[in-house]
Structure 1
């Protein structure tokens, strides 16, 4: 027997608003209301900023099933798409952040153009370069006056330097692209502010692609420029792909470095075990996977819309209805992870959904994993007495953005 929860629209007051707030003093955990909804049903309705009531997928099994379903679309131009904010006019001419918000076959065609640098083999070849960056930034921290803001001194520059190297973007411009990236991922940015920042970055990347046409190098933007020159890829799309990779390549990893460090500092036994076993590649890898599961950097849900009627978990998602898949509660599902609210760096958490699932799962996950492995195996070994330089209550968390983390993390040793 199936139901469509048709009473959701009829009883508007009973539909909770989304996104929801985390509990005071519990910055690592999903909002309590999400936990309640997960216990009550695999799917439920929520209310967005525009009054729409899409489906929220509360449990791990249903999340993976829907993320792998070709009847679910990532295209925000489809009617019923549960937009997290007012949609810019830019969408009328295609996504401003390229293939991430496209469906196959166009999604697959464009994604294939940038897959090669993110293969495990190519990423592993970058490990010595990343190790050198991490050590250099730690050296700079150790010679600086304490306390040091770990975000500005370490967590942000490490992935920024890496993605600049991979793309062929001058690191000297990092203040510029980081400033615009913050506007794009900030929840409270207006449509105009977000559109302007996207346009500014697209113009910047377009200029770089133009330079690569005449002076190519050994980098991803040069590869895209070659495709532009051959007529395989419009130059505008190449710049959009550059915007996507530049933002995704540093924002999420930077926040994961800082938030992961804070979580480990609040679990001193786990941190001590990691520090003592920092030369154990299996322990370091499992620590990375567990922190990806336990924390929730992308915390406002993956947005989709149904292209056809879909029957799942006793409900029917009708064509044109929005779907939100919040990985934070999926990764805390007790049916998928034993004692899900406990941090356990020896847990086998590789089946988490932090990077999504299906054809749209994160392209850069091999790079992110490798960077985090280098960071977590090096930082606490080289600074064994690393500790917070302020009370946890004084730390400001990014509740106001689509990417979660901390604004600053003052540390000393």
Structure 2
């Protein structure tokens, strides 16, 4: 496609430092905070870079999360096709969004998730035991970061962990930014077929898990169709392990680059400091690095710029989390910072449903891994680590460590 807007920068942009947002985003936030960018299909949505402007957009019902609406700024051709074929509640607007989300709220409430903390602790300890029986170096992603949230989400949803290689392969394909639409659809269909069979099994013999409750309370009553239950299950399974897995690995790599703060975290028995560290790493790293995407339903002014109905909008949360008006000295990692108002989980009605679970998992990991393996260190030079620039969720493909 011919570029009709040669002066408009392409998005997503290239990072210079693997731990920081692209420097061009910071320049835009300072000089042109609501500006056009060019996507893969030649479309030119608005990029929102300031913290307060993003919160305004994400809280405004005049901006739709529905990927089927004209003008929605899709990440890739594959994601555009997938959104046409299936639709989970994160792609819905109210009142439909709230109706679907409420079906899951009870299972992800803070009190209920906190009750899972001993289970998460057991999983983390067992995986560390297994690692310590290996001869280093080991890949922390394969041995620890990916299994922790996969085991937790499987237990919560009622999915056999024995099938983890299958669903992790499908998930990896679905969130790739370089995969063809055909490959993404094939992977999504494989995962849907698998989960549809599991829904049938839960219908025949319900258990004490999220999928069983969806079947009994929503599918059997007609509140949800079978396709809607399966789409919801795909979302929970993929989001429930991919995001936290990447935060575990990338957070560990980041702390290894900040040995003084790692030592302080390793030596603390203060849960508040651990919780602070989790929030600060979420702010600092921004693994959801391709922006929160919306389309305007009517003319709206944002940051002094008029956005017309039907125009796409991307809220670049990674650079918002480096906005000095919200976070003093934002490019510094500081595990003592009060950073819970970060944008890593989004904002408004679509903010991440699973954030209480992610917090518990990360708190347990960051308070356990470095204490139990105090000499943990990289087993390869930093410049040999392969970062996930090619994925919708940022992180590292592998993290070789030794001790």
Task: Answer yes or no: same fold by TM over 0.5.
Answer: yes
Inter-partner Cα distance in structure 1 for 2:60 and 2:80: 27
Taking structure 1 as reference, are residues 92 and 299 closer, same or farther at Cα in structure 2, changes over 3 Å only? closer
Select which of 3, 19, 22 maps to 2:15: 22
TM-superposition CA deviations, 1:335-368 (whole Å, max 9, x none):
1100000000000001000000000000000000
Contact 2:86 2:231 in 1 (8 A): no
SS of the aligned residue for 1:14 comes to coil
| Aligned equivalents of 1:246, 1:48: Cα separation in 2 | 28
1:133 equivalent to 2:123? Answer yes
Structure 1 residues 179-190: aligned runs within 5 Å? 179-190=169-180
Return the offset for 1:100. 1.1
Which residue is equivalent to 1:13? 6
Tell me what 1:70 maps to: 61
- Counterparts of 1:150 and 1:368, CA distance in 2: 18
Instruction: Tell me, yes or no, if the aligned pair for 2:64 and 2:294 is still in contact at 8 Å.
Output: yes
- Cα offset for 1:91? 4.0
Which residue does the alignment assign to 2:75? 84
Q: How many residues align?
A: 400
Q: Deviations over 1:24-47 (max 9, x none)?
A: xx1000001111111102211100
Distance 1:142 1:307 in 2: 54
Spell out, residue by residue over 1:271-325, the C-alpha distance to the aligned partner (whole angstroms, 9 max, x if none): 0111111x20000000000000000111001110000110121110100000001
1:107 aligns with 2:97: yes
Does 2:360 match 1:351? no
Give the distance between the partners of 1:313 and 1:99, measured in 2 at CA.
28
Distance in 2 separating the partners of 1:90 and 1:253: 23
Give the TM-score normalised by the residue count of structure 1. Answer: 0.95
CA contact (8 A) 2:82 2:184 kept: no
Distance 1:237 1:285 in 2: 35
Could you say if the C-alpha distance between residues 151 and 358 of structure 1 is closer, same or farther in structure 2, counting changes exceeding 3 Å?
A: same
Aligned: 1:306 with 2:299 = no
Q: Is the 8 A contact 1:18 1:48 kept in 2?
A: yes
8 Å CA contact 1:284, 1:376 repeated in 2: yes
Question: Could you report, residue by residue, the CA deviation over 1:256-275 in whole angstroms, capped at 9, with x for unpaired residues?
Answer: 00000000000000101111
Structure 2, unaligned stretches of length 5 or more?
none
- Which of 232, 235, 240 pairs up with 2:226? 235
Matched, 1:208 2:198: yes
Distance 1:264 1:318 in 2: 43
8 Å contact kept, 2:117–2:360: yes
Deviation by residue 1:194-236 (Cα, 9 ceiling, x = unmatched): 1111111111111111000111100000011112112221111
TM-score, normalisation: structure 2: 0.97
Contact 1:388–1:409 (Cα < 8 Å) also in 2: yes
Shift of 1:108: 0.8
User: Cα distance 1:410–1:93, how it changes in 2: closer, same or farther (>3 A)?
Assistant: closer
- Which residue number corresponds to residue 356 of structure 2? 366
Is the Cα–Cα contact under 8 Å of residues 202 and 215 in structure 2 kept in the other structure?
Answer: yes
1:118 corresponds to which residue?
108
- Structure 1 stretches lacking a partner, 5+ long: 1-9
Say which SS state the counterpart of residue 203 (structure 1) adopts: helix
Distance 2:168 2:148 in 1: 13
String of CA shifts for 1:57-108, please: whole Å, max 9, x gaps.
Answer: 010000001000000000011110001112555544542xx11111111111
- Contact map agreement 1:82 1:304 (CA 8 A) in 2: yes
For 1:359 and 1:90, the matched residues in 2 are separated by 22
Q: Is the 8 A contact 1:209 1:224 kept in 2?
A: no
